[in-house]
Amino acid sequence: WDEKLVFELGAPGERGVLPPLPEPAVTAAVGDPAERLPAALRRATPPALPELGQQQVLRHYLRLSQENLGADLNVDVGQGTCTMKYSPKVNDTFVRDPRIAALHPAQDPSTVQGVLELVHRLEQLLKEVSGMDRVSLQPGAGSAAIWTNVSVIRAHHAARGELEQRDEIITTAFSHPSNAACAKTAGFRVITLHPDADGYPDIEALRAAVGPRTAALLITNPEDTGIYNPRIAEFVRIVHEAGGLCAYDQANANGILGITRAREAGFDLCHFNLHKTFSTPHACGGPAAGACGVTAELAPYLPRPTVEFDGERYVLDDDRPDSVGKIRPYLGVVPNLVRAYAWITALGAEGLREAAETAVLNNNYLLHRVRRIRGVSVPYAEGRPRVEQVRYSWQQLNEDTGLHSEDLGYRAADFGTHYWTSHHPYVVPEPMTLEPTESYSRADLDEYAAILAEVAREAYEDPETVRTAPHNSTVHRIRHEPLDDPAVWAVSWRAYRRKVLGERP
Amino acid sequence: WDEKLVFELGAPGERGVLPPLPEPAVTAAVGDPAERLPAALRRATPPALPELGQQQVLRHYLRLSQENLGADLNVDVGQGTCTMKYSPKVNDTFVRDPRIAALHPAQDPSTVQGVLELVHRLEQLLKEVSGMDRVSLQPGAGSAAIWTNVSVIRAHHAARGELEQRDEIITTAFSHPSNAACAKTAGFRVITLHPDADGYPDIEALRAAVGPRTAALLITNPEDTGIYNPRIAEFVRIVHEAGGLCAYDQANANGILGITRAREAGFDLCHFNLHKTFSTPHACGGPAAGACGVTAELAPYLPRPTVEFDGERYVLDDDRPDSVGKIRPYLGVVPNLVRAYAWITALGAEGLREAAETAVLNNNYLLHRVRRIRGVSVPYAEGRPRVEQVRYSWQQLNEDTGLHSEDLGYRAADFGTHYWTSHHPYVVPEPMTLEPTESYSRADLDEYAAILAEVAREAYEDPETVRTAPHNSTVHRIRHEPLDDPAVWAVSWRAYRRKVLGERP
Amino acid sequence: MSTRVPRTHPYIPNSAPQVRKAMLAEVGAQDVEEFYADIPAALRLDRPLRLPEPLGSEARLVAHMEELLSRNTAVPPGRSFLGAGCYRHHVPAVVDEIVNRSEFLTAYAGEPYEDHGRFQALWEYQSLMAELLAVDVVNVPTYDGFQAAATALRMAGRATGRRRLVLVGAIDPDRISRIRDYVRGVHELVLVPADPAAVRAALAEGDAAAVYAQLTDHDGRVDQELPQYIELAHQAGALAVAHVHPLSLGALTPPAELGADLTCGDLQPLGIHPSYGGGNAGFIGSADDERLVAEYPSRLFGLVPTDVPGEYGFGDVAYERTSFAVREEGKEWVGTAAALHGIAAGVYLTLMGPHGMREIGATILANTAYARQRLAEVPGVELADPRAVHFADFTVRYTGERTAAEIAEALLARGLHGGTPVGADEAGAREGRYCVTELHTRADIDRLADALEEIVK
Amino acid sequence: MSTRVPRTHPYIPNSAPQVRKAMLAEVGAQDVEEFYADIPAALRLDRPLRLPEPLGSEARLVAHMEELLSRNTAVPPGRSFLGAGCYRHHVPAVVDEIVNRSEFLTAYAGEPYEDHGRFQALWEYQSLMAELLAVDVVNVPTYDGFQAAATALRMAGRATGRRRLVLVGAIDPDRISRIRDYVRGVHELVLVPADPAAVRAALAEGDAAAVYAQLTDHDGRVDQELPQYIELAHQAGALAVAHVHPLSLGALTPPAELGADLTCGDLQPLGIHPSYGGGNAGFIGSADDERLVAEYPSRLFGLVPTDVPGEYGFGDVAYERTSFAVREEGKEWVGTAAALHGIAAGVYLTLMGPHGMREIGATILANTAYARQRLAEVPGVELADPRAVHFADFTVRYTGERTAAEIAEALLARGLHGGTPVGADEAGAREGRYCVTELHTRADIDRLADALEEIVK
């Protein structure tokens, strides 16, 4: 499709859907209430939205959907760090059911016992999976969960009167940037541990960093390199000894479900991304869901309300005076809680472990295939297995051909697959991160490796094809300069018409 | 996508979905009942179905769906005669509701009053739309409705003791082939009226054909040429005078809703295709639904059961001794009855008429555009308006370039649209039938006309491009010979492996 | 600001007044009336149709439909014991996802180029079904199992040139009604009990085109004599037409392996919702025998090469058979039927795979046996045929005071749906039909038995 | 035949034993344990997780979930009078069709090449929302309206370098909680009543970064003083941050046209199901002012040319703002939030168009006025603010014996959901919240009034 912008479609008078008009008797009774408002508050001209018939709207967005590569449609192992696993279709049916979709959060609890029980059960499941004492399901996604944990850490130190003193949070370079950014936003100074020669966070740097100002350590393990840090318990111990808390970013938990937990490593807090490890769909970037697990000591600070079971009924407990308060409206992203619950329930303990083991097998299998491709290398921890993902480097290929990892990614798109080049931190040169999860079959992995091999071969033998890619995508190479130029960037059609087309609306 | 056959995917042991196993207590109680059967009746080897994981199955079929051009995705005016109108998405939601989808037809009527009332109401609506006295909604589609009408005609003559004598059915060349074929299958001799010079069925031929052997006339109006036969009432009169019945094939009713009806023209029977005129989706070729309207005299012969209202409740009346019996299981294709009901209800009388008028406006607008394209002509009834569709001819272009209408259709596919070349009867040379319905916007029609103009231009200026089309489709020109060669045709993978690949399973 | 703008109907974009006006102007017409010039005044409806007022908004339409739907009861599968030709099996979510895709739901009759996906999906359906049935040819689905049976019999009639059709055993009377209507004037039906002797006797009269029998009959009974009927048919020069419940074929032998010439049945159990009887679709399968292939009225998709080596394309096998091609000279007639149900069944079979089909067959056999055993333990209830093996459906006889209708009503009062009275005289009937599937738990079946224990006196 | 084959989980294809074995062999590993070599024994969980037994089949999972769902009550819209931040509006079927498309639902963070559709749909969302809000910049949605408000205030804080945030009028206490948590240690909240004098007084103390006010407040009241607050803010060198109910903007003036610098709110009313509070998503809009654009933490998609003339491409505007790019040096933080809700809102706005938005605004104003009038006629019920104009939400005061909680309970007993008690002391509260939308008919509202007439004494 060469689909136009929606503003270029339609004709005056066309309608996509008709809303109800006021009933005549209602109008007879109350007239037009807007007339009782000052003119300044009554909208003078309707918003300049497009006007399209219903089928025309549908067709436009269906075509856009076909111009989008959902995980369902491809072997989506190239968005490494994102845990692109299969999101079972049956779980979607539960959340589309009106007995979830139509529920209002202010309904009397007697009319929503099913959803309250489900949330309560999911908390119990995640308590066991993490080993923590309470789990909040309120955060809207992983970064919001990190924020929640930072807020809990802040509340903890504030309650002990140490917040003024403990104003530093330590994190690692390979942890998600939201760890650093949430800490900073919450008012902490951020100290980042960089990887040592083997790619592990530098333990000596940690020893040097901790002290009376240490509020907490926010750390991921395995990190996005796929390497598991075997000294993780020691990291925790060092921080604890300095009086800090330790929060485990479990974005990469998929490979270690049932194998090792936050509890065993001594963490005070942890969080999961339900849209990664627990299979809820990624939805173009949310809605997602996060889960924060904490020890009993920190439980009073968790967001309110919690769901409690009083022996007969499930109730919402909003009377939590030490709580950090609301992290989002109501109870959380309920549809994704439903999906995560269904996923765990479908698998059980054995299935969760099988998922983890298979994800790791798939990862090492793909590693075995990919490392043989010309121009690729596997930095750090030579000879050690990887857990859930591998950060590769195309440094050699770059030196040989001048092409960048990004170019290879654009060319990979021509083969109908993803390859995500946005790999903070930019420490590994020419990075590529692959994370196959448990969802892909052996044939899928072979196919993906073959695509990479073909792209690498082209890079060496026919570099121009790669340099000018994509060739089969919906659009061609994008000009990036306007995106950083305030004079022409265009975040809306209004702005584009004014700034680029020179129209005066 | 270059999607493989499903049989080429997967690996032994993979599963797409797990069915429940017998509970241990059940097995303990009854063992394996199959063991009580003779060995010959127990399946020795499981069917050689493929083995795929769930996501792999999903991906395969999603990709196939993307290789299919649904009406929702294109300006689908090229499947003329098919009335490709918009099938509102909201109507799909009703039939997916468990209160339709999960209903069992043997449920007690007290538990299905909603669906019975809906079917009863739909009958009332279609009675008014057709003017007939009773309407059966049982037939599964248009051809089944034609069969039903033929069966009713047969029952009528049988009841009068005239069936032996009245063994001829008259139809017209531009009526759907099922009219002729159903009549033949039901044991009648078929007489086909050919078009006169203006494209109308030849009235003199009708006069010559009728007589004591005439059972019925099966006729469409407007026919697939889009021309309305103004002498239709005379046709009916001639047949009635000969003692025959007249059945109106209203496959092309979309342009005349609320304008003229079967009743006014004197018909004894008529049928609608709910998947055409009343918007139910075409579903790759069904499930669809047909509706047969008849006069009070013929009502006793309609399929059983009917839905009746006893003043308090809706009931199924299966005690209809003169009925032709069952045409399909149960009451009909209920989901499509629900959709058709919702569509009519959303539009009302005024909306139906607006749909008809707009469909006709669209058709004449498109005619106005298309007739100016080089190489196209509009056979028959020069200067007369067309109703719902137009059968065009590319005879001139064929004479000029040697290319066939079929070639143009394949090239039109490259522009992301349909163009259907299967236009029985093969009377108009190099035919093309366009039927825009009321669903398409003016911009849509302009775009379609522009595509045709471009293809015609190519045919004259760059015929090789057209001759070798399609170029942008999923597949390239298909070899047709094997389809008619019993030695190699392959209706299944089993047959293909045996006959073409030479495998011995 | 509060000026009313036209409420152009969202389904009819060009009814926007300005658009309509501009289009008329472009065509050079004053009014759409001009396009209706050929319709004589006498045939014109001189008043608006008398239909209810339209609802004016999608929201109101939804509310109206909700009101109608609220008067239907969607029964939980474990509380419904209704079967007899339409079944509540589990429909995997992936099946619904696929058949609800706009691309499949709204497509129709495009060429194999722009509609390659539909051709491939239906060809794969044919192929998957062929594995299940152990045949080489399966048609694009026809309307339903009734039509499949009727057409299979007429195919047999044309192939043999004979008149009599021998129908064996307990057959759904509605299906017989359909067959009777469809062969009227061409064939004669001979109904015989499920007994080889009866079949032999019927065949002895000669002129038999087909013996039609069922692997599992209308009462769910596995007919162990099926191999014999097939043999008898062949001895008499007739074709053997076998009707099957497709879900049984993971556990039971496909009749084609027993020599049946034509296999037919209804696809509904394979991933299609019951929809108050709207989910039926018919299949016919046979060997790749040119004589039989020539008799199919339906479309048969075939796999063929394209101009690009290694690429698969699809097309219509032996299209000249069809009424599409040659009108009344074709085999019976063909039209829009139930293609999407074929795609659904294909997805279902792919998901289930060989082991899933085997398992579900075994589970249903076991649940049926358990239900029969439990119900037979209820005082006043006995099995109609205690020694038979049943699949899904079965019938019990009540020996007490109450009629089948009374018992069904009492079950309904307890939220249990089942026990449909058997026989023409429903009022006085003493037999009731039940059905269990893979969805019934032991507890569900026990609940039914317990309820009957209370009800049946 | 009856040998059991492994029940490979459908979600984990490579757990099929033969496949797993072959893959291990290819990698040269004996066991998956080898891949866990780096996890010390002391950290290993030495037992299986203690979780309920898995359900073993999709059918049983569905049955289990059905059991849970059956204990939730989906209230017909006409029987629910609950609002206050989460609304039951009509969700057009086309919106659901689009957001449920596999391609959108399961995509994540691809490049603008293979994920062009997502970029375009979200850019169009930004553009459509920009028309509604009368601004030039709208972000890719953040989590919810709470976050949008909190971030808008911190944006104002950074843009002005000031500390105090003046929050005006009746604001959802939960939203204040979220704001308080989010600005803790950085900003000070000053809550003032909806009165220009109070705002003026608060601003007089200086150091104000923002005045935050609402076009319609937590009680649904249209705050007619909003233009004045905006003016006061600007006079004090503070930014004006306006919170809006987006559906009201077909009828009411967008605050940006009144001079508001930042507009924020929650998308949920625009075609997103309530889902027990799971349907929220936040928006922030502003002029295309470089100073403000630089303060957005969210992604902002921009329209750009490609190498092919005339072709549109999309990318991230000013990406170096974000924590994705520069970690703690970025503006706040950004991550996966609520993109699909943005697509939903975009489809909704496209379907509604200018006239649909105008009409729905008018209908809700009319229904709200009617409901207020009808309820005020009930003896013992009076309006909290009889002279105001309300949109959707409103509050009534009970003058009789019964508390708001008792009245809500009595309504619930009649199948009516509404009258949520207002205030911290819910047990003793005498005020109740109600809400009506375009989905309520006059009869629905009359039914509520009649019920209150019976209940309120």
Per-residue model confidence as pLDDT tens digits over A73-97: 999 999 988 999 999 999 999 999 9
| Token digits of residue D334 | 């950004």
Put residue B469 in one of left, alpha, beta given phi > 0 → left and psi -120 to 50 → alpha: beta
pLDDT(B134) > 90: yes
The number of angstroms, rounded, from the C-alpha of C25 to the middle of its chain's C-alpha atoms is 50
- Identity of residue D227: P
CATH class of B131-345: alpha beta
CA angle D130, A103, B116 (to 5 degrees): 110
Q: Locate tokens 């040989």: which residue? A: A400
Q: What are the CB-based long-range contacts (under 8 Å, 24+) for A160-168?
A: A162/A243, A163/A215, A165/A212, A165/A213, A166/A212, A166/A213, A166/A214, A166/A215, A166/A243, A166/A244, A167/A213, A167/A215, A168/A209, A168/A211, A168/A213, A168/A214, A168/A215
Q: Are strands A269-273 and A245-249 parallel, antiparallel or unpaired?
A: parallel
- DSSP letters, C156-217, are HHHHHT--EEEEES---HHHHHHHHHHHTTT-EEEEE-S-HHHHHHHHHT--EEEEEEESB-
Please check whether residue C438 touches D, CB under 8 A. Answer: yes
Q: Decide: residue A187, CB within 10 A, 0-12 exposed, 13-18 middle, 19+ buried.
A: middle
CA dihedral sign, ordered A488, A492, A495, A499: positive
Q: Indicate whether D427 pLDDT > 80.
A: no
Class (C level, CATH) for C77-86+353-455: alpha beta
Put simply, the answer to whether C59 touches D90 (Cβ < 8 Å) is yes
CATH of domain D93-350: 3.40.640.10
Cross-chain Cβ contact D5/B88 below 8 Å: no
Q: Do A20 and D439 touch (CB under 8 A)?
A: yes
Selecting from B14, B54, B88 the residue whose C-beta is nearest the C-beta of D16 gives: B14
Distance of alpha carbon A390 from alpha carbon A380, whole angstroms: 10
The chain-wide mean pLDDT, for chain A, equals 96
Judge whether A20 is closer than 8 Å to chain C, CB to CB.
yes
**Angstrom distance (rounded) from CA B137 to CA B145:** 9
Ramachandran assignment for A25, one of left (phi > 0), alpha (psi -120 to 50 degrees), beta (any other)? alpha
Distance between CA A47 and CA A37 in Å, rounded? Answer: 19
Fold of D377-455: Aspartate Aminotransferase, domain 1 (3.90.1150)
**What secondary structure does DSSP assign to B424-477, as a single string?**
SSTTSSSEEEE--TTTS-HHHHHHHHHHHHHHHHHHHH-HHHHHT--SSSSS-P
For position B353, what pLDDT does the model report?
A: 97
Q: Would you say residue B423 has pLDDT above 70?
A: no
Angle among Cα B360, B361, B366 to the nearest 5 degrees reads 100
pLDDT of amino acid D4: 65
Q: How far apart are CA C31 and CA B361, in angstroms?
A: 9
B-contacting residues in D 10-69 (Cβ below 8 Å) = 10-13, 16-19, 56-60
**H or E element at residue D24:** helix D17-27
- Please give the Cα distance from D25 to B317 (Å, whole number): 68
Cβ of B417 and C114 within 8 Å?
yes
Question: Are B54 and A88 a contacting pair at CB < 8 A?
Answer: yes
State whether D13 and B52 contact (CB < 8 Å). Answer: yes
Give the position of tokens 């309650």: A159
Residue with tokens 């759904």: C172
Identify whether the C-beta of residue A26 lies closer than 8 Å to the C-beta of residue D366: yes
Nearest to C229 by CA among C192, C264, C265: C192
- What tokens were used for A473? 């995508």
Interchain contact, D114 vs A190, CB within 8 Å: no
Measured CA to CA, the distance from residue D230 to residue D256 in angstroms comes to 10
Tokens of B449: 């006309």
Domain ranges of chain A: 6-67, 477-505
User: Is residue A63 pLDDT above 50, yes or no?
Assistant: yes
Which candidate from C43, C97, C367 shows the least CB-CB separation from B22? C367
Average pLDDT over residues B226-232: 95
Q: Are strands D164-168 and D208-214 parallel, antiparallel or unpaired?
A: parallel
What residues of D are in contact with residue A327 (Cβ under 8 Å)? 178, 181
- For CA atoms C66, C68, C70, C73, the dihedral sign is negative
Say whether the peptide bond before residue B222 is cis (omega within 30 degrees of 0).
yes
State pLDDT tens for residues A16-32: 999 999 999 999 999 99
| Contact (CB<8Å) D16/B20 | no
| Local mean pLDDT, 10-residue blocks, chain C (457 residues) | 75 97 97 95 96 96 98 97 97 98 95 94 98 98 98 98 98 97 97 98 98 98 98 98 98 98 98 97 98 97 94 95 91 95 98 98 98 98 96 97 95 97 79 97 98 94
D306/A477 Cβ within 8 A: yes
> Distance of alpha carbon C438 from its chain centroid, rounded?
19
| CB contact C93 to D (< 8 Å) | yes
B419 band by pLDDT with thresholds 50, 70 and 90: confident
Question: Among positive and negative, which fits the CA dihedral B205, B207, B212, B218?
Answer: positive
Complete edge-to-edge strand list for the sheet that includes strand C381-383: C381-383, C393-398, C431-435, C420-421
B103 DSSP 8-state letter: -
Which residue(s) pair with B306 in the sheet?
Answer: B317
- Sequence spans of domains, chain D: 93-350, 377-455
ipTM attached to this prediction: 0.97
A269-328 pLDDT, tens per residue?
A: 999 999 999 999 999 999 999 999 999 999 999 999 999 999 999 999 999 999 999 999
Residue with tokens 């709208």: D138
Determine contact: A504 vs chain D, CB below 8 A. Answer: no
Nearest Cβ partner of D117 from A64, A337, A499?
Answer: A64
DSSP sequence for A23-70: PHHHHHHH--GGGGS-GGGB-SS-----B--HHHHHHHHHHHHHTB--
Beta strands C208-214 and C188-192 are unpaired
| Cα distance between residue C390 and residue A373, in whole Å | 58
Question: CB neighbours of A35 closer than 8 A, spacing ≥ 6?
Answer: none
Contacts of B59 in chain A (CB under 8 A): 72-74
Confidence of residue A505 (pLDDT cuts 50, 70, 90): low
| C-chain residues near D257 (CB < 8 A) | none
Predicted pLDDT at C5 = 79
Tell me which of D11, D90, D222, D411 to substitute to probe the interface with A (most A C-beta atoms closer than 10 Å): D11
* D4, burial (CB in 10 Å: exposed 0-12, middle 13-18, buried 19+): exposed
Distance CA C276, CA B113 (A): 12
Determine which of A457-461, B95-99, B272-276, D4-8 has the lowest per-residue pLDDT on average: D4-8
Name the average pLDDT for chain D.
96
What's the pLDDT score for residue B505? 60
Alpha-carbon distance A425 to A373, whole Å?
Answer: 24
* pLDDT score for D2: 43
- Closest-CA residue of A relative to C5 is A13
Q: Which of B18, B42, B88 sits opposite D7 (nearest CB)?
A: B18
CA angle D16, D17, D22 (to 5 degrees): 100
- Collect all residues of chain D within an 8 Å Cβ-Cβ radius of residue A40: 227, 253, 258
Which chain C positions have a beta carbon within 8 Å of D437's beta carbon? none
Q: What pLDDT does residue A422 have?
A: 65
Cβ-based neighbour number of residue D224 at 10 Å:
16
Task: Give the tokens for residue C152.
Answer: 């299979």
Interface of B with C in 239-258 (CB under 8 A): 256-258
- Is the CB of A346 less than 8 angstroms away from the CB of D438? no
Indicate the fold that domain B348-467 takes in CATH. Answer: Aspartate Aminotransferase, domain 1 (3.90.1150)
Query: Does D16 sit within 8 Å of B62, measured CB to CB?
Result: no
